[in-house]
Amino acid sequence: MTRTPLIAGNWKMHKTVDQAEQFVQGLLPRVSTADGVDVALCVPFTALAAMVDSTRGSRVEVYAQNMHWAEQGAYTGEVSAAMLVELDVHGVVLGHSERREHFGETDRALAVKVPAALASGLKVILCVGETEGERERGDTQRKLRYQIQEGLERVPTEQLGEIVIAYEPIWAIGTGLVATVEQAQDAVAFCRALVADRSSEQAERTRILYGGSMKPDNAAELLAEPDVDGGLIGGASLDPETFSAIVSAAA
């Protein structure tokens, strides 16, 4: 089974609509000929509509960075799946470590958000990963098992292959520290084995990304690992040149 690599940029809380437009004008010509790779941008809510319009007809898909699980209701400040779908947003990143750390995102909530997003027709990137302390204590697999089993608990087995998992060691996010290719491959293969516990056929379809200080100069070796199906890119996704260089490394 060959899985098309996915390179997804996570802008976090960066870029006004004007800055996002400038980025996309720089990006589109650079990625137009990159074959055999899917490209996504995870942008702030305020830039979603503009980015959907500006990337229409291109290879770039637009994702949100969070959503609520309910269809509607008294949830001030939240956004539903239907609101994203109405804008023609393609997908959503769920469970990023920054949302878990700063905004109390829990595996329990993700167990509801992930199937709610899928049921609305949104693609999902589910982020998982261990802290430095958990890795040092030998708890990496325990953490990944818990996050993946709970996050995917209510996803119907036949839809598991549609999910994208981003393995992001928290100690490597925004720090300049990068997992070794062995650490990345081992953890990503372990994530795939966890999906395979439910369905080995679906696990072969599931794309599993590495995230954590991926840059143009380390992307190729990480992406060459057999189980690494792409990257979730933070800092290096803010500039069209560095982001497109990573896309080229995956193409």
| Residues found near ligand PEP in the complex (CB under 6 A) | 10, 168, 173-174, 211-214, 232-236
Residue given tokens 């469970």 in the structure block: 95
- Annotated binding site, which residues? 10-12, 174, 213, 234-235
> What is the closest distance, in whole angstroms, from the C-beta atom of residue 97 to ligand PEP in the complex?
7
Helix (H, G, I), strand (E, B) or coil at 133: helix
| 124 or 236: CB nearest ligand PEP | 236
> What is the closest distance, in whole angstroms, from the C-beta atom of residue 65 to ligand PEP in the complex?
10
Give the residue numbers marked as catalytic: 96, 168
> What is the closest distance, in whole angstroms, from the C-beta atom of residue 217 to ligand PEP in the complex?
13
Rounded CA separation 70/79 (Å): 9
| 64 or 83: CB nearest ligand PEP | 64
| 26 or 216: CB nearest ligand PEP | 216
SS (H, E, C) 177-226: CCCCHHHHHHHHHHHHHHHHCCCHHHHHHCEEEEECCCCHHHHHHHHCCC
CB-nearest residue to ligand PEP: 234
> What is the closest distance, in whole angstroms, from the C-beta atom of residue 223 to ligand PEP in the complex?
14
Rounded CA separation 250/136 (Å): 31
Helix (H, G, I), strand (E, B) or coil at 29: helix
| 117 or 236: CB nearest ligand PEP | 236
Q: How many CB atoms lie within 10 A of CB 26?
A: 14
Q: Residue 193 to residues 31, 42, 144: CA-CA distances in angstroms? A: 32, 27, 11
- Annotated binding site for substrate, which residues? 10-12, 174, 213, 234-235
